[in-house]
């Protein structure tokens, strides 16, 4: 069975949805930290890489899958909190340019540590590869991981939405993202809000690590880097300082990536990122505030 145009099949469509969901999670993870710290964390992909290595080692050491996943969450969260303490907080009052360069440095540092420790060929990915087997849904075979990824992403986003709208911490996080100085004058604790954002961001990185590593045969030190760059493009595409548009931007680019990856002939799929970035440039030329931003806003020039 095919969708009406191209050779787009339902499984490809499902893969697009699944990748869109994971990219949306990553976009939210990057956006939450940007909201409270005004810092674009370029090292987000390295958190995902670390999580994927944790999964691979978990399998190698014979952990059951649940334990590997737990190990992955532990590693990613630990690294997130460490990054926050050692880099983000000490540099919080510095200029955005300093923080940006600092996260680049952290990204390269982590990537090179992985290169030294695990080598360029990396490790074979974990035992979760069984999730690549298909489910028969009404005669259409769809990979289990596609269904699980999409459902997990939706679930995470719903829980986050509840956290942000129904709890005091969520209210404080939203207020801090709008006007940190005033929020603090009202008694909102800066440290709690930043920790909240960093931890949720880390949790989403860990979820993304699990979902992305299922579909890979090996985990290498550059794992997650290209995904992160695409997500950043998606976040900019949606509008960096608005959570919902940023999420939609991440979803869009993930969806496009998944669909094009399935539709393009395999000898052309290496050009996929070029297509996507070209599309992002065109969209930003036409709508500089982002694809999903409401009209009339001003563009902040950095």
Which spans of this chain sit near another protein (rule: CB under 8 A)? 168, 171-172, 174-175, 178-179, 181-190
Read out DSSP for 62-74?
T--HHHHHHHHHH
> Which CB sits closer to another protein, 62 or 187?
187
For another protein, the closer CB: 181 or 301: 181
Q: Which is nearer to another protein, 168 or 296 (CB)?
A: 168
Residue 237 beta carbon to another protein: minimum distance, rounded to whole angstroms: 22
Q: Which is nearer to another protein, 10 or 192 (CB)?
A: 192
Distance of closest approach, residue 41 Cβ to another protein, in angstroms: 24
Both tokens of 231, joined, read 């997500």
Across-strand partners of 135? Answer: 142
Closest CA relative to residue 23, chosen from 150, 114, 123: 150
Q: What is the closest distance, in whole angstroms, from the C-beta atom of residue 240 to another protein in the complex? A: 16
For residue 168, the minimal CB distance to another protein (Å) is 7
- CB nearer to another protein: give 25 or 183: 183
Task: Give the C-alpha separation, 142 to 151, whole Å.
Answer: 14
In whole angstroms, the minimum distance from the beta carbon of 31 to another protein comes to 16
Alpha-helix residue ranges (DSSP H) falling in the chain: 10-37, 44-60, 65-83, 96-118, 144-166, 168-178, 180-185, 190-214, 225-238, 243-263, 272-286
Q: Which is nearer to another protein, 112 or 182 (CB)?
A: 182
Question: Cβ 187 to another protein, closest distance in Å?
Answer: 3
């Amino acid at each position: 069975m095919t969708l009406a145009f191209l050779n787009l099949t339902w499984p490809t469509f499902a893969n697009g949805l699944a990748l869109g969901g994971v990219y949306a999670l990553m976009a939210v993870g990057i956006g939450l930290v940007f909201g409270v710290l005004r810092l674009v964390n370029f090292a987000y992909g390295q958190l995902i890489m670390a999580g994927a290595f944790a999964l691979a080692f978990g399998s190698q050491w014979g952990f059951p899958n649940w334990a590997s996943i737990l190990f992955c969450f532990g590693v990613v969260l630990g690294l997130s909190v460490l990054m926050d303490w050692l880099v983000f907080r000490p540099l919080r009052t510095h200029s955005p340019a300093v923080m940006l360069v600092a996260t680049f440095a952290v990204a390269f540092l982590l990537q090179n540590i992985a290169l030294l420790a695990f080598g360029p060929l990396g490790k074979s990915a974990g035992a979760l590869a069984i999730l690549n087997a298909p489910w028969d849904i009404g005669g259409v075979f769809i990979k289990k991981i596609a269904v699980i990824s999409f459902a997990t992403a939706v679930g995470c986003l719903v829980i986050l939405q509840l956290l942000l709208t129904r709890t005091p911490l969520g209210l404080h996080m939203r207020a801090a993202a709008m006007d940190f100085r005033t929020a603090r004058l009202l008694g909102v604790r800066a440290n709690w809000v930043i920790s909240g954002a960093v931890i949720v961001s880390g949790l989403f990185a860990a979820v993304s690590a699990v979902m992305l590593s299922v579909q890979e045969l090996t985990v290498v030190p550059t794992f997650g880097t290209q995904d992160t760059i695409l997500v950043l493009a998606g976040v900019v595409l949606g509008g960096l300082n608005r959570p919902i548009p940023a999420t939609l931007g991440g979803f869009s680019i993930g969806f496009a990536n998944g669909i094009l990856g399935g539709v393009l002939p395999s000898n052309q799929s290496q050009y996929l990122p070029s297509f996507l970035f070209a599309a992002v440039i065109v969209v930003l030329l036409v709508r500089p505030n982002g694809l999903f931003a409401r009209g009339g806003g001003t563009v902040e020039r950095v």
